Amino acid sequence: MGDLLATIGTGTAVFAGTNVDDIIILTVLFLSSRASGRPRPWQIVGGQYTGIAALVAVSSIAALGLTIVPDRWVGLLGLVPFGLGLWGMINTVRTIDAGQTTSPTVATGLLSVAGVTIANGADNISVYTPILRTIGVTGGLITVTVFTVLVAIWCAAGSWLGSHGKVIAVVERFGHWLVPAVFMVIGAVIVVESGLIGGHARR
């Protein structure tokens, strides 16, 4: 019983510690959903689960001693949210120039949400890998179960944070600039923190 509780506690701490910034992304996505109708809530939740599942799968393979992507290239995944944000910004300029209304939509479906989740959590692989390598199959299954529950809690928290009327009103007014900008900043931070810029990439 003690080992079970310890594994659950460790899994909870690891997930919370490596996915705090996901709350920001989920909040922005739910705000975008309420303001423009895209992505739909089920796509946000499904994309989050798909992205986390992919990260855990890669970490599990890496735990077996197989390296899929060199650590120093993980930062390139930051180009995914940056590219989505840039595309959203370009669309905003185009629609405004054409005298049309625009919506604060960046990620429009399950796959784009999953891509952002993977990009934002790519560095988590370096944390998950040694844990999955040392806790064994049973411990790994328990940890994955904990992650599954916490993803639902994270999505609920993002939905709650993105449900306030005043915030939604602001996003409806300025979101066509704000949402793409947030994604561009997230992407830039991922690339910079990876060390690819400046020649100090993680090894």
* Exposure string over 79-100, b if 16+ CB within 10 A, otherwise e: ebbbbbbbebbebbeeeeeeee
Segment 11-55, tens digit of pLDDT: 898 898 888 778 888 888 888 888 778 889 999 999 999 999 999
Residue 173 lies inside a defined structural domain of this protein: yes
Segment 54-83, tens digit of pLDDT: 999 988 888 777 555 555 566 666 777 788
pTM tops 0.75, yes or no: no
CB hemisphere CA count around 151 (13 angstroms): 21
Residue 201 lies inside a defined structural domain of this protein: no
pLDDT level of residue 132 (50, 70, 90 thresholds) = confident
Number of domains present in the structure of the chain: 1
Residue 200 lies inside a defined structural domain of this protein: no
Residue 203 lies inside a defined structural domain of this protein: no
Q: How much is the pLDDT for 50?
A: 95
Residue 202 lies inside a defined structural domain of this protein: no
What does pLDDT average to over the chain? 78
